[in-house]
Amino acid sequence: MNTPPSEKLLLKLLIVDDDEEDVYILKELIQEGVAGFQIEVDHSPSYESALSKLKNFRYDLCMFDYRLGETDGVHLLKEARKMKIEAPIILLTGQGDQEVAVEAMKAGATDYLVKGKLDSDSLQHSISYAVQLTREAGRRERAEELLRESHQELIHKNDKLEESLKKLKSAQNQIMRSEKLAGVGRLAAGVCHEILNPLNIISGHVQALQMERPDDKALSEDFRSINEEIYRIEKIIGGLLKFSRKGDMEFRSVDINNELESVLSIIENEMHLGNITVQRNFSDSLPHILIDADRMRQVFLNIINNAKYAMQGGGMFTVHTLFISKDRRRQNLGETEEDNASSAKPFEIPFLRIKFEDTGTGVKKEDMDKMFDPFFTTKPEDKGTGLGLSVCYSIIAKHSGSLEVESEWGKGATFIIDLPVNETMMNAPETNLLEEFS
């Protein structure tokens, strides 16, 4: 049963042969004996014209005669493959020569036919085989492309997963740190006043004894030591009270660059004496922001003092200010938290970022997770109480912002403060730290 022309596969065939009679016979065999294909035959009588046609036209199948004047079909075959011609190529020869057949197959021939033994069946088989190979190669190419795309998609999703895991870990650390700070705050609020009462009594008795025995040099030295320790206790308790205080935040609109400049102007000369160069990279187009300026200056001063202490041999201290946006996710009305995880729409929240970079000693890896813990300090006992960064963290949290540190031991440290510009954030709960990573 003959295949209807509309259902036949259209093939564009290039025959390269300098013998017109052989070309005529091939065309007859193709038209009469090759079923299942609608073949359009193009003929090229020479090596040069064949190369020209291969460069300018696309063929589905090629047949090269082995003998082509001064050159041969194997050489043309090699040139075609160099030109990235991927169409199947059948090499034709007048006599069956195994060496020629092997050379042709090595050069990239799809099949090898002997003209003297050529008939419609062998031609049908060879063309069908070549077309099948081409189809398989195409399917393999598409499968490899799909595999590459899947691999790239997998890499992209893996990167997003790693980023999400990093954010989740950071959020968990924030929660644990917040709970720890809240616990210390509650403890401080309940205990500090109880400590101050007996401390004031002790201080009063010491002062009375000093007045009673002003000439007793031995006791005077003891009194001095007692007063120093009383002052130390008062300093620690004062820090705890600042840390635990939740109210009396006085927000006002300020220029953050001006606030930083006012703190730097106080301490810059002292830093220069320590061979520390201060560099400012302030953005000129920052919006004003609602903050408690006094407390924020306390944060800046604490971070700058820590940097100065870390650069006792001198170094570079750089302060950056810039405007950034962070992705948040907005939950639609009526959605549950589970629905929100998949359907929430991202939107941008504007922040002011303040970066403090120093070239000091940096922070050891094992100390990074403890940086904001109350009473943790790497300074000697008489140089710090370990409450400075805890207080800073608490102040920034009360501004609905975030305080983070990036550091590598021996390579300095960078403290990063992000403060929301949106005024409505001032009404957000003080413990909304998870919003930073949702």
User: Going from the N-terminus, what domains does the chain have, and what CATH number goes with each?
Assistant: 5-118 (3.40.50.2300), 138-245 (1.10.287), 247-437 (3.30.565.10)
pLDDT tens digits along 390-415: 788 888 888 888 999 898 888 899 99
Per-residue pLDDT, 370: 73
Residue 183 pLDDT exceeds 50: yes
Distance, in Å, from the CA atom of 400 to the CA atom of 413, rounded to the nearest integer, reads 23
pLDDT tens digits along 241-275: 655 555 567 888 999 999 999 888 888 888 898 89
**Contact by Cβ (8 Å): 127, 36:** no
Question: What percentage of residues in the chain have a pLDDT greater than 70?
Answer: 78
Per-residue pLDDT, 372: 72
Residue 24 pLDDT exceeds 60: yes
User: Which pTM does this prediction carry?
Assistant: 0.44
Per-residue pLDDT, 435: 36
CB neighbour list of residue 14: distance below 8 Å, 6 or more residues apart: 42, 43, 44, 50, 53, 54, 57, 59, 61, 62, 63
- What average pLDDT does this structure show over 49-73? 87
**Contact by Cβ (8 Å): 93, 65:** yes
Of 338, 400, 380, 378, nearest in space to 174 by CA: 400
Angle, helix 98-107 to helix 73-82, in steps of 10 degrees: 10
Q: How many helices (H) and strands (E) does the chain have?
A: 10, 14
- What average pLDDT does this structure show over 368-397? 68
Query: How far is the first Cα of the chain from the last one, in angstroms, to the nearest whole number?
Result: 68
**Contact by Cβ (8 Å): 64, 73:** yes
Per-residue pLDDT, 315: 93
Per-residue pLDDT, 318: 94
Per-residue pLDDT, 356: 95
Strands 315-330 and 276-282: parallel
Residue 2 pLDDT exceeds 50: yes
Per-residue pLDDT, 179: 61
**Contact by Cβ (8 Å): 12, 60:** yes
- What average pLDDT does this structure show over 279-308? 89
In the structure, what pLDDT confidence band is assigned to residue 387 with cuts at 50, 70 and 90? low
Higher pLDDT pick, 373 / 356: 356
Looking at every residue in the chain, the average pLDDT score rounds to 78
**Contact by Cβ (8 Å): 359, 427:** no
- What average pLDDT does this structure show over 112-137? 81
